[in-house]
């Protein structure tokens, strides 16, 4: 069937993936885990030099990009082009407060080239969330 919908494929931005998890800590603690040096390296790659200001470019051992939006305690939006990719993707990280002392951390990535890259990035972001959970005791 030509009209069969492929999971994760959009009409305008290629493939996309979103993963999220709710943690038993505050929005402030979640933000700290995302932007601390070890946190940055867990999701953007080792060797990252990242200044969280719109327009700032960054590089790591696995890719490069540009910071687009920074809303402290709430949202980061950036481009990210991993080594070997023909074009950058867009990543959005959201920190969503829930009831008292619970917060959801969400990673959404679009402009992925195909289903294989989508699945690779799904596993990648899930491992980042596992890393955040493992580091939660450090906050």
How does DSSP assign 1-21, residue by residue?
A: -TTPPPTTB-SSSSEEEEEEE
| pLDDT band, residue 19 (cuts 50/70/90) | very high
Beta partners for residue 10, in sequence order: none
Residue 37: the pLDDT is 85
- Decide: helix, strand or coil at residue 46: coil
Residue 113 is predicted with a pLDDT of 93
pLDDT score at 100: 81
pLDDT (0 to 100) of residue 38: 85
Task: Give the pLDDT confidence of 43-97 residue by residue, as tens digits.
Answer: 988 888 788 999 999 999 999 999 999 999 999 999 999 999 999 999 999 999 9
Domains with residue ranges and CATH for the chain: 36-138 (3.30.530.20)
Residue 2 binned pLDDT confidence (cut-offs 50, 70, 90): low
Q: In the chain, what percentage of residues exceed pLDDT 70? A: 96
Can you tell me the mean pLDDT for 102-127? 96
> Residue 26: CB partners within 8 Å, gap ≥ 6?
97, 101, 103
Q: Report pTM.
A: 0.90
């Amino acid at each position: 069937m030509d009209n069969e919908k492929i999971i994760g494929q959009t009409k305008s931005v290629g493939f996309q993936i979103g993963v999220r998890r709710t943690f038993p800590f505050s929005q402030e603690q979640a933000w700290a885990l995302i932007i601390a040096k070890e946190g940055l390296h867990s999701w953007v790659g080792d060797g990252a030099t990242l200044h969280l200001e719109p327009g700032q470019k960054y590089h790591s051992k696995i890719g490069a990009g540009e910071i687009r939006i920074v809303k402290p305690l709430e949202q980061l939006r950036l481009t990210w082009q991993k080594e070997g990719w023909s074009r950058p993707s867009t990543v959005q990280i959201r920190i969503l407060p829930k009831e008292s002392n619970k917060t959801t951390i969400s990673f959404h990535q679009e402009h992925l080239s195909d289903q294989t890259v989508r699945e690779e990035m799904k596993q990648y972001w899930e491992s980042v969330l596992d890393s955040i959970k493992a580091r939660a005791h450090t906050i």
